[in-house]
Amino acid sequence: MLSLRMEFRGYVEMRFAVALFLVLGAAFARSQEVPEYRLPTTFKPISYRLDVTTHLENKFTFEGVVDIKITCLKATNTVVLHSNNLNIDTKGVAVSDGGGKVVPVTGVGFVTKTELMHVKCAEKFKPGNEYVLTVPFMGNITDDLVGYYRSSYVDKETNQTRWLAVTQFEPADARRAFPCFDEPALKATFKIRLGRRKHLTSVSNMRLLKSTPMPSNPDYVIDEFEESVPMSTYLVAYMVSDFAYVESKNPEEEVKFRIVARKDAIGQTELAKNAGPLVLKYYEDYFDEKFPLSKQDMVAIPDFSAGAMENWGLVTYRETALLIDPNVATIDNIHRVAEVIAHELAHQWFGNLVTMKWWTDLWLNEGFATYVAARGVDYLYPEWNSFQLENVQNFLQVLDLDSLQSSHPVSVTVGHPDEIAQIFDTISYTKGSFLLHMMNTFLGEETFKQGIRNYIDKHKFSNAEQDDLWSSLTEEAHKEGSLDPNITVKEIMDTWTLQTGYPVLKVVRDYAAGSVTLKQERFLTIQPNSTDKKSCWWIPLTWTTSSVADFSQTKAESWLNCNTKNYTIPLEIDDEWVIFNMQIAGLYRVSYDTRNWMGIITLLNNPDEFETIPTLNRVQLIDDAFSFSQIGELDYGITFQLLKYLKHEKEYVPWLAALGGLGPINQLMKRTPNQGLFQNYMQRLLANLYKRFGNMTVELDGFEEIRFKNLVIAQACRHKIKDCTEQALALFKQWMKTNDPDTNNILPRELKTIIYCQAIKAGGAEEWDFLWERYQRSNVGSEKAKLLSSLGCSSETWLLNRYLNWTIGENAIIRKQDAITVFYSIASSDIGYYVAKDFLYRKIADISEYFQPRGDRVGRYVKVIGSQMKTKEELEELNTFISKSSAYLKGADLTINQTIETVKINTGWTSKFYHKIINHMV
């Protein structure tokens, strides 16, 4: 599943979806209760026959019956499985043995807290024997965006609301749709039959075999689907709707590929229709394993909580993640859709074909899908250079987030379903992905790829854990000689996946002796009272010096491991500088002494020689300098000396790193007396770039060049470069005067979000209502997302309050999936911050109720506000609010603790550096 991950790349909706977390042992205190929430190992399912009839059109209910063939593993007289919020006809629950003999049921019980159902029988089940458990059930098709839920849209032709019902089962919500053994290791086959009204259609994981009239109701038919391959319950999927589809027509394709969407949006499927089959074939070749199904449907859902979900044979998406209107799509929209398609199709191997045994190893699904998706996009658009950019963004994002005490390991113990939901986060996705990139680098492409192929072949249609992956990679690495025979991948990688955080490599130079001694410790934004002696990583070492200046060797020359406290290497005595971590091949920061930093800065500030240091290492130097200054280990004077080189920096990613490093300072300067001084500094910093990119009407070519311009214009308008604001307002006014502004949007497509926001910020009700009307009329998901976010830029508090009130409750106008986007866009502005905070404090009970059963979503609201707090008084205020609101924050404890730590970091920085840093900006 693609969560709406926090990221460095400018997608507003992705930025918040991160559920944030707590250190193991503190955050997951409830994990002691794991057995209470896990199924006993007395039975395993073999197959399901699932019949479900769906009633839409104001009734919004479903009923069905499931027959589960199970094998007894241990003698017992009780079958325990999952059921949550279902109405079970307990009198209809039945058990029979393989010969059809009835096993009398003496009682059916439910434990709400653990979501378990107990079927007690009169006689004991015998190990090795097979039985069939039959359970009739009914349920409501809710608007909760989990389980079997409803979505809707307005038909453009008739102006009527159309309803559909669709599933979302990951991680633990299949139990909301039918009684089942809802754990990933309990794979089984599924034979699904769906009852629906005649004028609708249904789809499921497998091909439709036949449709027959329903004997009991002439208005309904029954769709029967072929039996599935063995799969986990969270991958089961079905939908009843009036959607249309387009089919990929390539006769050479062995897999039937369809894109399914509401009929008004079916014209936006061209990219998905072409990209899907290409990426699927690429993965078949890369993994050397055929896609095991005969069809692949990809469906765009109007209401969808995540980004997308990898259900086998029926991948579901937000409309913004699958549909593209070529007349309005930006380069980021195209990249987003390509990336999500590649991510979900990668899951067909990593997650579906081979599934983690338990959610502890969720990263095996999500880290791999994220990593392989970057390769898939690179295959589709090789001219974009997007694979390198993805790795840079992952590197920056993980180093920032994983420097907190309240982070968690990549492989983390979870128990209660609330905990599972909260680890669909940046650590599982982004850190997991970068660690795979790091392994690929130190093992070599061919060894890595073959090791992955061996892993898939060995565990396909089954389950695995990370030790199984380490084993396959080690075996191949030793076979090919790409890893010392005395070292295993497990020995290296367990240090990266089983403990929280990442290391800083301490470089201690002896200039007289011509040597450097290396040490390591965990990097933390809040410095501990004593050095962390326990944490230790196997760090792949690569380096170069001023006398050699060769950055091409990215494979580890040696290791700083957990057996070596200090590691010394010789250098030339006259070397001006040494730089470690070539091309950011490893996940670690590097700390140098002042003399070494000044040698690097001297080179960078030479416009003829700064490119001696390649782009990726310039990125790390910028990011490391900011980070060490933030914690007080490097004088901010040195960091701002380094930034002076940017006047001749022409590449996108170093600027991305620099503006990313300045972002937190901007955040802490907002709403303070020194905000204007920082704004002036930013205007000077951006002056040359703005000359290059400042004309909004000039369209550029090239993925990075377009992104570079978008970044510069956004920063220029944010920091009130006069010409930027004037251009935006003039263009918006011109657009408002055009005939049919929906069809004739004259604004530069790549800059629309920036222009919208500037106009709404400077305008009043007239501009706001104009843009709101465009939102209501738009038929394009990506365009609606831009409009929705931009409407939060208003400076009118009454407009902001009205907008927020439209996001929650029974009469909400904004789709539930988009409520946090609205809140974030408002909370991010100077005026909107106070409006949003007041709304959160007053409406916390309503917000919590609205998002049930997903308590983790409420934490995102607290995080958005808390991340902008920076004084002791605000920290006390936040703690008081959290204490008073604890009943409404259940399921969000990880995010809450993350937020509190962030406020402490902000408070510490403000007290130490707020007054000092200004000296470097005047």
Please give the distance of CA 742 from its chain centroid, rounded to a whole number: 32
Q: What angle (nearest 5°) sits at the alpha carbon of residue 28, between those of residues 23 and 32?
A: 140
Concatenating the DSSP letter of every residue in 17-63 gives -PPP---TTTTTGGGGGHHHHSPPTTEEEEEEEEEEEEE-TT--EEE
343 labelled as ligand-binding?
yes
Helix residue ranges per DSSP H, 817-892: 819-827, 830-851, 856-866, 872-884
Q: What is the SS3 assignment for 835?
A: helix
Strand partners of residue 432: none
Q: Within a 13 Å sphere around the CA of 910, how many CA atoms are in the beta-carbon half?
A: 23
Nearest to 845 by CA among 800, 893, 891, 889: 889
Q: In whole angstroms, what is the distance from residue 237 CA to residue 313 CA?
A: 9
Token pair recorded at residue 817: 């999936």
- Element of type H or E holding 299: strand 295-301
Angle, helices 386-401/362-380, rounded to nearest 10 degrees:
150
Peptide bond connecting 136 to the previous residue in cis, omega within 30 degrees of 0: no
Nearest to 317 by CA among 363, 371, 262: 262
Catalytic residue list contains 344: yes
Polymer length in residues for the chain: 922
Catalytic residue among 344, 521, 783, 901: 344
Enter the DSSP assignment of 180.
Answer: B
Token pair recorded at residue 116: 């378990």
> Residue 509: what residue type?
R
Token pair recorded at residue 336: 């987003």
> Residue 559: what residue type?
W
State the residue for tokens 């469906």.
Answer: 299
Angle, helices 615-630/594-604, rounded to nearest 10 degrees:
140
Q: In whole angstroms, what is the distance from residue 537 CA to residue 482 CA?
A: 20
Q: What angle (nearest 5°) sits at the alpha carbon of residue 662, between those of residues 660 and 667?
A: 100
Q: How far apart are the two ends of the chain, measured CA to CA in Å?
A: 47
* Residue 462 Ramachandran class (φ > 0 left, ψ -120 to 50 alpha, else beta): beta
366 labelled as ligand-binding?
yes
Peptide bond connecting 292 to the previous residue in cis, omega within 30 degrees of 0: no
Token pair recorded at residue 82: 């999952």
Q: In whole angstroms, what is the distance from residue 136 CA to residue 87 CA?
A: 9
Token pair recorded at residue 305: 């909580």
Q: What angle (nearest 5°) sits at the alpha carbon of residue 917, between those of residues 898 and 657?
A: 60
Binding residue ranges for Zn(2+): 343, 347, 366
The residues carrying an active-site annotation are: 344
